[in-house]
């Protein structure tokens, strides 16, 4: 053993002298250092995905108007564009149980504690609705056709706190509008019903509540929430019978009867085999509420919808 100075000299000569070991160590350090630095920063920042509230509904129901209203905290928008892609806005609800939640409050200015969440707006046009349902499948943790990687979605699925389904209460008296709206709602509820079967072992994912927001309550032609509920339940019953009959009439062979029966039950919304559908049939897996309101014009506004969202976060 030499002196400390000689040891330092020997170490510098070793590290600065070209050799395979020095090259390997140097290259490994250059390649791995950026990844290690990124991992350390990401871990230290405490970044976490925010809870999500998914906004669904047919085109023209008022989804984008609602997002604009909540993001700007009023005034009520007079005109908005039709959503073409899925996009999210970050909102916050005050953590103050002493007073009702109010979307108009400036929480930054008041320095109030708040719970942040993402409100995810989706396109409602029939040709673009696939993107909305794909997002619902991903957030709900339900695999789509050909997708077997359910476990990779578990973390994102746990962040889905609620679904707001916007419906035009002034248009539901028209049978075509009612049929189109109910068909979309059927697909949404069916995904959330199937979600309960995606858990591992005896543990099932938490149920995701659904708010049917009956918009345009200020209009004379708008149906009250109770009629919106009964009209949708009756139409969902008809859709369920139609889809079941279509499966039975699909011409399956004798060897496929059991498989067809299983498929029918998987795609049956609510209590299997019942004649009439009601939202109460889903209460164990999906809690559905119908609340009236309006985004533009004079009327009850969206305060009850905002309070419902705040309660589910």
Which CATH entry fits the domain spanning 49-312: 3.40.718.10, 2.60.120.10, 3.40.50.300, 3.90.180.10?
3.40.50.300
| Rounded (5°) CA angle 273-229-104 | 135
* Whole-Å CA distances, 89 to 44, 92, 125, 225, 237: 25, 10, 20, 28, 35
Please give the Cα distance from 233 to 241 (Å, whole number).
12
Task: Identify which of 34, 49, 310, 45 has the alpha carbon closest to the alpha carbon of residue 162.
Answer: 310
Helix or strand holding residue 132 (H, E): helix 129-140
Those residues whose C-beta lies under 8 Å from the C-beta of residue 224, and which sit 6 or more positions away, are 169, 217, 292
User: Count of CB atoms within 10 A of residue 66's CB?
Assistant: 26
| Rounded (5°) CA angle 65-68-64 | 40
Contact status, residue 156 vs residue 49, Cβ threshold 8 Å: yes
Lowest mean pLDDT among 25-29, 43-47, 99-103: 43-47
Higher model confidence: residue 273 or residue 7?
Answer: 273
Q: What is the pTM of this model?
A: 0.77
Quick one: tokens of 77? 């928008």
DSSP state of 206: P
Considering the chain, tell me which residue range(s) the CATH 3.40.50.300 domain(s) occupy.
49-312
Contact status, residue 156 vs residue 198, Cβ threshold 8 Å: no
> Which pLDDT band holds residue 75 (cuts at 50, 70, 90)?
confident
Question: Is the backbone of residue 141 left (phi > 0), alpha (psi -120 to 50) or beta?
Answer: left
Res 248: pLDDT:
65
Q: What is the pLDDT of residues 157-171, one digit of tens each?
A: 568 999 999 999 999
Contact status, residue 293 vs residue 301, Cβ threshold 8 Å: yes
> Which pLDDT band holds residue 48 (cuts at 50, 70, 90)?
low
Query: For 54, what's the count of Cα atoms within 13 Å in the CB-facing half-sphere?
Result: 30
Res 113: pLDDT:
78
Res 255: pLDDT:
46
Contact status, residue 15 vs residue 22, Cβ threshold 8 Å: yes
DSSP state of 302: T
Q: What is the pLDDT of residues 123-160, one digit of tens each?
A: 877 777 788 888 888 887 776 655 554 444 445 556 89
Res 276: pLDDT:
94
Q: What is the mean pLDDT of residues 22-33?
A: 67
Res 214: pLDDT:
97
Res 124: pLDDT:
78
* Whole-Å CA distances, 306 to 69, 116, 164, 300: 11, 13, 10, 12
Check the CA dihedral 211-145-124-241 and report its sign: negative
> Which pLDDT band holds residue 229 (cuts at 50, 70, 90)?
very high
Res 297: pLDDT:
85
- As a whole-number percent, the residues of the chain with pLDDT over 90 amount to 40
> Which pLDDT band holds residue 47 (cuts at 50, 70, 90)?
very low
Question: Is the backbone of residue 149 left (phi > 0), alpha (psi -120 to 50) or beta?
Answer: beta
Q: Which range is most confident: 65-69, 175-179, 201-205, 268-272? A: 175-179
Per DSSP, which regions of 99-139 are E strands? Answer: 114-121
> Which pLDDT band holds residue 180 (cuts at 50, 70, 90)?
very high
Q: What is the mean pLDDT of residues 63-73?
A: 90
């Amino acid at each position: 053993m030499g002196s400390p100075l000689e040891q330092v000299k020997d170490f510098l000569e070793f590290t600065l002298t070209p050799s395979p070991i020095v090259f390997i160590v140097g290259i490994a350090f250059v390649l791995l250092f950026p990844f290690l630095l990124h991992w350390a920063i990401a871990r230290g920042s405490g970044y976490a995905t925010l809870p999500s509230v998914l906004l669904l509904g047919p085109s023209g129901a008022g989804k984008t108007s609602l997002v604009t209203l909540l993001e700007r905290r009023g005034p009520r928008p007079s005109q908005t564009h039709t959503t073409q892609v899925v996009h999210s806005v970050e909102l916050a609800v005050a953590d103050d149980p002493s007073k009702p939640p109010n979307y108009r409050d400036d929480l930054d200015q008041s320095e109030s504690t708040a719970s942040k969440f993402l409100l995810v707006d989706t396109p409602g046009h029939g040709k673009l609705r696939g993107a909305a349902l794909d997002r619902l499948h991903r957030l709900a943790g339900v695999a789509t056709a050909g997708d077997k990687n359910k476990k990779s979605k578990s973390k994102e699925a746990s962040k889905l706190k609620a679904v707001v389904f916007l419906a035009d209460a002034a248009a539901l008296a028209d049978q075509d509008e009612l049929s189109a709206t109910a068909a979309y709602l059927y697909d949404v509820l069916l995904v959330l019903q199937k979600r309960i079967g995606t858990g591992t072992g005896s543990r099932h994912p938490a149920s995701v509540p659904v708010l049917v927001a009956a918009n345009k309550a200020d209009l004379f032609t708008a149906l009250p929430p109770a009629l919106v509920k009964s009209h949708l339940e009756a139409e969902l019953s008809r859709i369920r019978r139609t889809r079941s009959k279509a499966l039975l009439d699909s011409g399956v062979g004798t060897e496929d009867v059991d498989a067809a029966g299983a498929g029918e039950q998987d795609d049956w919304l609510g209590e299997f085999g019942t004649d009439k559908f009601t939202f109460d049939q889903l209460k164990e897996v999906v809690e559905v509420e119908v609340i009236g309101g309006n985004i533009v014009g004079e009327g009850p506004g969206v305060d009850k919808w905002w309070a419902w969202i705040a309660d589910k976060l």
